[in-house]
Amino acid sequence: MPLCFIVDDHDDTRDGFAEYLRDWGFEVRTAGDATELRQLLTSATPAAILMDVHMPRVDGWTLTKEIKQNPRTRAVRIVVVSASVRPEDRLAAEDAGADSFIAKPCDPQEIVSELTRLLTYDTPDHVKISAR
């Protein structure tokens, strides 16, 4: 199954998503912040990243832009998972280059479905984020 990184500074959220994705057959590695994610990216390129937005020091928008601007990682699918769900937050996700946006709290099955959709179909590097 595809390799997925989960980046979230809340241990419970990160571990819960990781357990659920593993149950669905994903290979999962986790990071609690930008430093840990950057370290993971030196050793492997995932098919997808679940990205929290509000993290200390470096936020998810900055990390998403960084990943999408790097030729080695630009094809990685990024799913922003955030409790900030205002229209401007969705626009910020799109502007950063995220491929999808899921509002927290969410049913973990929604994440599995979205990852499956993004990784199954040949979609452009940047998919317009729908207002769900």
pLDDT one-digit tens code per residue, 33-89: 999 999 999 999 999 999 999 888 898 999 999 999 999 999 999 999 988 888 888
List the beta bridge partners of residue 102.
Answer: 81
Q: pTM here?
A: 0.87
Sign of dihedral through CA atoms 47, 53, 58, 63?
A: positive
3-state SS, residue 55: coil
Which domains are present in the chain?
A: 3-120 (3.40.50.2300)
List, in order, residues 6 or more apart from 37 with CB less than 8 Å away.
5, 7, 31, 49, 63
List the beta bridge partners of residue 30.
Answer: 6
12 falls in which pLDDT band (50, 70, 90)?
very high
Of residues 12, 19, 13, the one with CA closest to residue 4: 19
3-state SS, residue 27: strand
